[in-house]
Amino acid sequence: MIENLIVVLIVGAAAWYAGVRYLPAKWRGQKAAPKAGCGSGCDSCNACATPAAEPSARRVIKIHAASPNI
């Protein structure tokens, strides 16, 4: 009997965690807007205004000849 209760508690906790973690915010009853902070797009940390460095368009590829003994 106690084993069944433990299994029910574990399965219930797993279902609750899955609901909190993976259900859409609308179904969870929370606001869909992200909290203010860096990366939320609120421009409070000015992280969105600084452009990322462009990667170099030119790359050097070195080709080495195989040794004749191989």
Domain ranges of the chain: 1-46
Residues ≥6 apart with Cβ < 8 Å to 53: none
Q: How many CB atoms are closer than 10 A to CB 45?
A: 13
Query: How many angstroms separate the CA atoms of 47 and 45, rounded?
Result: 5
The pTM of the full predicted model, rounded to 2 decimals, is 0.38
Listed residue (18, 15, 12) closest to 4, CA to CA:
12
Q: How many CB atoms are closer than 10 A to CB 34?
A: 11
Check residue 62 and give its pLDDT. 86
Averaged over successive runs of 10 residues, the pLDDT of the chain (70 residues) comes to 96 91 75 56 59 69 78
